Every structure is written in structure tokens, then in C-alpha cells.
Structure 1
Amino acid sequence: MSEKKEKIVAIKGMNDILPADAPLWELFENTAESVLKSYGYQKIVTPIVEETGLFARAIGAVTDIVEKEMYSFTDSMNGDQLTLRPEGTAGVVRAVIEHNLAYDGPKRLWYKGPMFRHERPQRGRYRQFFQFGAEAIGFSGPDIDAELIMLCRRLWDDLGLDNIRLELNSIGNAEERQRHRADLIAYFEANIDVLDAEAKRRLHANPLRILDTKNPAMQDLVNNAPKLLDYLGGESLAHFEGLKKILDANNVQYTVNPRLVRGLDYYNRTVFEWVTDMLGAQGTVCAGGRYDPLIETFGGKPTPGIGFAMGIERLIELMKEQGEPATPAQCDVYLVHQGEDAQTKAFILGERIRDAGLDVVLHCATPAGAGSFKSQMKKADGSGAAFAVIIGEDEVENGVVAVKSLRDSEGGQQQTSVPFDEAVDFIVDQIVGGHDHDHDHDHVHYHP
């Protein structure tokens, strides 16, 4: 007797997206892509692996991501230092510079894909997570900041998400942050006994991040700390006021949060987060801001930029919290058949129906066998199909198929005998024609 092999499971913090959740993911991705397209954004796809130095330079060497969370390794073939991307902006900016994308004018870009961070897994925070993001490269005014924020609002509306609020801040330019930083360090040093170990570690390396602390014992201290908004010069203030003016004119609700600083070194001026209270500790579902210095840091010509990124898993969780939409049908038509000749006919008809633009599932044998008509009809009903098409020995002999409505709310489930060569036209007419009022056809993919 052979030894039972140990089951292999997924790596901690890296999850499978199962067929039951796929419709929600498709709904999110299709809606997001549609919204981005409606604002003139174009898709860009960058590699999952980049040089480690790209992220150290972009994100900042003294950040949690670079110090503790990146999946980095040495390429065994040539010794290169490589990293699985922990975020999307750095790769997009690298591509913009490498391919001179901004040479002929500003670009609106969007991306989606997996990111990797070695964090402690919890609800809505995983080691492989999927991000959807947009970057606007080459625009300097507050108008593009407002556009990206309003784009997000439209996405929430289209997804039916109404428990997301906008928090906004300006972190000025490097000189303004330096003056604030010096005063912030002095303030925290004067209250060193209140700082926890993490805050003490960050004090001289990245003191702005102390303002992000969740430690209850430090809340009064950070609330009374010097506020960056008070250090902004005329240009930074004018940019922030310009943004608020456009948002106000478009009835975009927001809160100015002076403690909102973002964790990455490349941000300047506008920073924003969309936050919910429905997901526990992981409340931020979308975050972004302006990063005007970044492209020059990468060796490109000085070019302004702004973008956002959203975690798809968190938004899927939020969609579930606010009422998961009904699971779409697998298909429009389920083909039931019995006997060798019937199977041949079923394959031919299945292809013809697909040619007409409908989705078809054809019943196939399992280790238990082909299945009786009764068990096949049960599968047909479970598929969510509008119709079952039945082909047995009698149908083959008479050159017909039986078409049975599975979703008819009036007068029970009706079955009609139709000549084989007329079956496609009959089914299409039933689904896109006079049968529409009888049942929900959101799943139908018919395109004449």
C-alpha cells in the first residue's frame, strides 16, 4: 500500500481566487477599467520583477517596505539584485523614462496586477495582493489632482460603495518639510519619554511616520505636534486651495487631515486617502498623492506626476460587506445529451450557438459516467442557464432538439421541439427577443 502524500497548501499570505469569487473580481476590474477609460487613461503593463535599487531609490531606503517587507533575492545566473515589486508607481515611472513616454506630452496611465510585501497577514492585508492604480505624468496643476480624486468617487458610485470617505492633506515641498521636520524632531525629543520603541527608531530617520502611529498612548502627543500645513509657502498653499476649490465646486466631500503623510519618500504637495470604517484596522482602500521629484530622482528630466493605488482585495471585501451581487450565470445554454450520436450532434450545435454569440456549457462525462437525463438536468438548472437544449436518441432520429426554458416564471418550465437546423435562431430569438420579460438576462453575452 502506497504511503499517503502530504498535502501541499498555498504560501502563508498568498491566496487563491476561487471561481465563486471570480464574478466579483470581474465586476470590479471591468468597472474600474471602464471608469479609467472614460477619463482618457491608457493601460500600461510592467514586469513583476525589477532591480532592487529601483525601489530603494523610489520608496526610500529608510521605510518599512524597503527595510523589512520586500521579497528580494540574488539572480543565481548573473548575480543581479532583484525584487518582486512591492508597489506599482516605481515600475511605471521607470517605464515612462526608459521609453520616453512623456516626450510628446503628458500621459494618463493605469495598471493592475499583483504586488508583494512580507507583512503579517490579516483581513485585507496579504503578502501577495492585487493593486489597481493610475498615474498622471507631466501635469503640474491642482486640476489633475482633482480629476484623479473625482475618478475614484465615480468608481465608488458605479460599484455601489457608499461608506468611503476622503481624507486630504498637503505635505508641501522638500524645503517646507525640512523646516517642519526640524521642529518635529525637537518636539518629539522634548517628549522622548512618551515615544514607544518604534517611534524612537524612526525619530531621526523618518519622523513624519511617527504621526501615523496607532499607539493609543501617543495620540495626544501626535495631535499636538507641529502641523506641516502651518509650514507651507505661497505656492504650496495656492496649489492646495486650488484643489479644494475644484472639489468644492463638484460637491466632493472631504476632511483635511493634518496627520495624513503617506509612507513613501517621493510624495510632495497633495496626498489623499479614501477610508472606510467597515473593514476593521485595514480602513484605507485607496491612497495616492503627488510625486513631482521622483522622475528626476530616476535620472529623467524634471517632470511632475501624481497617482493613486487601491487594493483590490479590500474593495472586494467592502463589496461583500455592502451586499454581494447575485452570482452571474455560468452560461446562457446548457446542452444535455444521451448516446453517441446525440453527443456528436450536441458538439455541432454547441459550436453553432457560440458562433451566434451565446455562452454554452456542454455536459461532459465524469469518472462516474455520462449521467442520466435527470442528473444532467439538475446540472443544467444549477448552471444558471436560461435554457437547456436536450438531444436524445428520439431527437436524433427525428432531426430535432428539445429546448426547455429553465427560468420561465409564467406557467412553469416550457419545453419546445425545434428542428435541429432552426435551433440556433429559435434560442437567440427567445433570449434577445420576446422572452426578455420572463427572466433576468444580465449574463447574456449575445452580440449580433
Structure 2
Amino acid sequence: MDDYRRIADAVAADIAAGRLRPGERLAPQRVFARRHRIANSTAARVYGELSRRGLVTGEVGRGTFVRARAAEPALADPGGAPVDLQLNFPVLPEQSALLANSLARVLRPDVLAEALQPGGVTGTAPARAAAAELLARTGWQPSPEQILFTGNGKQSLAATMAALVPVGGRLGVEALTYPVVRTIATRLGITLVPLEMDDHGVVPDALRAAAVRAVYLQPALHNPLGVTMPEARRAEVVAVSAELDLPVIEDAVYTFLCDEPPLAALAPDRTVVVDSLSKRIAPGLTVGFVVPPAQLFDRIATSVRGGGWTAPRFALDVAAHHIADGTAAVIQRAKRADAMARQRLVAEKLDVRADPRAYHCWWELPPPWRADTFAAAAAREGIAVTPAAAFAIGQAPNAVRLALASPPLDRLAAALDVLAGIAREPTGAP
């Protein structure tokens, strides 16, 4: 796909998601070109493509504006909000009561006095013990002394990337990857190198050809593909990383939904595991974890401190209480069942690729649909989905990711029916 069309796809995704609202003015073309490091002529082609798709309109002397939608979303709730299949923050109806009961202990004056003390990158002994219990999986048990804490999962990623890859350095990532990694890399001056993937995940030989300082991978419940790397592929990836002496950043944020052993179980000396609580428990409880090997511990701890990414003591103490009294485990079990119920709905209605344990799935669209036009059509029906361009490092396929966690089951079912109907329409050609 030409570069200008790929960039147009990304802008179209922002419009479909509501990040660019009807009536909002786009940046002047020369400013847009500078931001995206493209030629002015390429920026003009991007704006022309957006206009051709009916997403923007130009007004002489005033600029280019996002066009208003033709109709109110069909599935929008009374407040006008679309059905959100973009963001994955699972919050179960019963979990607030569970968390409130658990939180009561932390709010005792004597306990609260301790929780309001300054925190640190290594947290407290109870927090380390609780985190080690929470993060353990079959075949892998981190030591409490091995764990560092940050304010959230994004900070864990940023601190680890900054510690392992210098400014101007290269980080290998799966060709379809978590979009925030791209944002962090830009801010840190790191170049992302896309690694070829197949149905089992990253292709091991792609690591040999990449010439990178480290690699970022999601072996379990990959975002956006929703697939899990099989045991044989894990062993191959670990063997190549050993051959190249290549550090691996393993994103484990969705592993609370499964029990797959991490790459760290096979390569403990070169794998850094990053995780967080926002999806495991609730988006408002933002504690991040970094589990580095011993030889990288001090370097990453220094990066956490230097970036100002240390977790607040109060959040650590709250998290430790939720883990120690079993509340976190109860919520995790309930979310596993909830994710599987949602995937059963998807399997009934759409032909998608996904691990049945995941909270998201990847839909390769039938021709002649393109991802951006499908997302726009879904938005007109009150459903927000994410086109592949948001995840692609390079060329984007004609696919969308569906995040399944947010809507109630009945609204999710109705939205999936609408999406299936859109996909059957013969109007997807650009």
C-alpha cells in the first residue's frame, strides 16, 4: 500500500473512533507533513484521499474539517455513546462490591498512615510477596526480590525500553503490535523494526535478520491478533534469542486469562516480563510490574527512577490487600469465564481468528471491504472498531480488531449482528 494511503487509514481510524470529531479542523498540510515526516506533496495526497472517502471537507481560506456523520448511530445508547469495541478494560458488575470490601482494611487509620508514606521502585515486602503470587504461572514463579513496580503497564514498557535500547537504537517488534509501543518508541528516539509473523507468532528467522538491540513480544493472547504462541515456537524463539544474546521484553498483560508459561520460564537470563493490574482488576487501579533478570535489575530500576515512573505507595498497598485476601483471584476467575462467554458469541456470528480465552479478536474482512471504510460504516451504525493500521508497523492488512470486554453481553451480541450484516453488504469497495 502506498505510504499516503497508510497514513490516510490511520487518520480515518481516528475519525471512526471519535478521536477526531465532526467539525474538527485538521492541521495545515505543511504542519501535517512535518509531524509525519513526509513530503508536502504526500500530505496533499493524504488529504485528497480523505476527501475522496467523504471523511473530510475543504473550505477555501479556512482549512480542512472532519465531516459530520450523516445519521445518528443506530446502536448508540441514549447518551449518544457508541458501542465500544475499541478499548479493552473489562469491569464486571460484581467486582466493585468485592473491591470495596477488600479496600475497607486499607482505610483503617493505622493502615492508611503507612500507605500514605513515600513509595519506591522495589515497593514493600508485602507488595513484593503479593506480586510474586499474582504473576506466577505454570512453570514460572518470580522471586519477590526480582520485582520492580511502576505506576502502570505503559510505564513498565517505557522504563524497560529506555533501559535496553539507546536513543537511535533499534527494537524488534511483531509486524502487528500494541500501538502504545510505537508512541513510546517515538518519544524515546527508538526505531521499531517490524518482524515477520505467521499463524504461530513471530518467525524465528526474522530475529536473525533484524539487527536489533532487543525485541518486544506478546507470546500469549497477542494484541491485536488474539493468538497464543505454541510451545514449539516458544522454544525456537528462545533458542534464537540465546544465539544472538538478545534481550526479550515479554508483555504479559493478558496472561491473567490463561496459564501459558512465559518465555521467562525458558530464558530467565534474558527475558524481562512486564505486566499490570488495569485489565486484571480495574483500569483505575494502575500498578505496573517489571520482572527483569538479575543482570538487568539495576539498569531497569535506574530507568524507572529516572523516568519518574515509580508506583505510588497507596496503590501498592491497595493492590497487595486485594491479592492477599483473594479478591484479585476471584475477579480473575470471573473474567476468564466472561472472556470465554464473549468469544462464544463471536464464534456464533463471525468468521474471525482468536484464542477462545482472549478478550479480543482479529477479523480479516471479506472483499471488497477495506479496513478504514468498514470502520467508518460501523461507526455510522454506532459501533467503534479499530482498523489494522493502528497496529501495523508497515503495511496494514484489511482487518479490524474487535475488543470484546466493554459492552454488556446483550449489546455485544446486537453489535456483532450489525457488523456481520455490514460485512455482507456489497458496498465495501473504495
- What TM-score, normalized to structure 1? 0.23
**Greater radius of gyration (CA):** 1
Structure that is richer in helix per residue: 2
Which structure has the higher relative contact order (CA within 8 Å, separation 6+)? 2
